[in-house]
Amino acid sequence: MRTPSSGRSAGRPRDHEKGRAILDAAWFLFLERGVEATSIEAIAAAAKVSKVTLYSHYPDRTALFEASVRREMERIEQAQGLHRHDTATPFIDQLRAFGLGIMFFLTSRPAIDFYNVVAGELRRHEDLARAFYDLGPGRTRANLAALLNAGVRSKQLKKLDPHIAAEELFGLWQGFTNFQFSLGIDIDATRADLSARVERGVRIFMLAYGAKPVHSRLR
């Protein structure tokens, strides 16, 4: 049994494993139940820590929610690194890779749960909502715009406004899938069609903006 003197001394770093377990448990419960319906007691039980331990890491549920969202923002930021411009890869293949990466992410269960359950809570945290948008959707748009701008410089694309064109291309990829996944309609069929959907979007986009003719039958 630990004695009081064997506990964490002043200045000693907190137990990162327990902190991670608390965030994991909180995020799972937030997505499953919603933020308001998730109690501190439930989070502590799921993380297998005491309430005292939980409060030593996070003063209240709001702080825990914000920490959970910021961790998800960091994961999105890391994923965005996969979409940096690669001059060794043909431009059209870069568009396909970008589209596949973002669409498979957006149709993943964690992303669907986030937007269905947690997005409403974000509206009550204006600064956090803006930060999440800038780092998530905003950065996705900026990265895609940068890729399109590189296509203009390399003469793969006609002159265009990269931010508007990025929104148009993303719209071709996404279509109505956000409604389908939010409502749980035709999920398996939509996921099975993602690769073909991305390919169609790239081809239509290149027909509109490509500097050279695209000889490919749309499926």
3-state SS of the chain is: CCCHHHCCCCCCCCCHHHHHHHHHHHHHHHHHHCCCCCCHHHHHHHHCCCHHHHHHHCCCHHHHHHHHHHHHHHHHHHHHHHHCCCCCCCHHHHHHHHHHHHHHHHCCHHHHHHHHHHHHHHCCCHHHHHHHHHHCHHHHHHHHHHHHHHHHHCCCECCCCHHHHHHHHHHHHHCCHHHHHHHCCCHHHHHHCHHHHHHHHHHHHHHHHECCCCCCCCC
CATH architecture of the domain 68-219 equals Orthogonal Bundle (1.10)
Residues 35-70: tens digit of each pLDDT = 888 999 999 999 999 999 999 999 988 888 888 888
Q: pTM (2 decimals)?
A: 0.73
Domains 14-59 and 68-219 share a fold: no
Which distant-in-sequence residues (6+ apart) come within 8 Å of 156 by Cβ?
91, 92, 210, 211, 212
Per domain, the residue ranges of the chain are 14-59, 68-219
Can you name the CATH fold of 14-59?
Arc Repressor Mutant, subunit A (1.10.10)
pLDDT tens per residue, range 64-105: 888 888 887 777 766 655 555 566 789 999 999 899 988 888
